[in-house]
Amino acid sequence: MSKLTTIARIVLGLIFVVFGLNGFFHFLPMPPMHGRPEQFFSGLYATGYFIPFLFGVQVVGGALLLTGAYVSLGVVILAPVVANIFLFHFFIDRSGLPLAIVVTLLELYLALFAKPYCTKIRALFC
């Protein structure tokens, strides 16, 4: 992998691991939401399962990117999450749009340029 791909992989992996773990442990303060963002997240919380599932997917996908062992799988797992982050900030709450754009560009870069590579563990799948 090139240095730029490695940097993109680590940055995106850290973003998802940190924010995914924050969903479970609440170590980063979240500003109060009002209006449409509050309605959106209230609906997700009301399901009882979706928010923990979402944060779990973020942690798993981010960890796959950080380890570098299954980058392609991590990119695929995180693709629907990234799409929803971008669409949420584009249509509902524009305050987080700059970070959503950065995350989307990192995801697209990795999807296009992260070449799968073989390791001894993955030799069976290559």
Q: How far is CA 40 from the centre of its chain?
A: 19
pLDDT level of residue 119 (50, 70, 90 thresholds): low
- Any domain includes 43: no
Tens digit of pLDDT for each residue in 58-113? Answer: 999 999 999 998 999 999 999 999 999 999 999 999 999 999 999 999 999 999 98
Question: Domain limits at 75?
Answer: 1-11+59-126
Identify the pLDDT of residue 69.
85
pLDDT at residue number 113? 86
% of the chain exceeding 70 in pLDDT: 90
Would you state the structure tokens that stand for residue 4, as one six-digit string?
């730029």
Per-residue confidence (pLDDT) for residue 116, from 0 to 100: 66
Any domain includes 18: no
Tokens of 12: 């995106």
Does 54 reside within a domain? no
Please indicate, yes or no, if residue 68 is contained in any of the structural domains: yes
Instruction: Please provide residue 115's backbone torsions phi and psi, each rounded to the nearest 5 degrees.
Output: -80, 135
User: Does 36 map to a domain?
Assistant: no
The answer to whether residue 41 is domain-embedded is no
Residue 86 to residue 10: CA distance in whole angstroms: 20
In a domain, 37, yes or no: no
3-state secondary structure of 64: helix
> What's the structural domain count of the chain?
1
Q: Is residue 45 part of a domain?
A: no
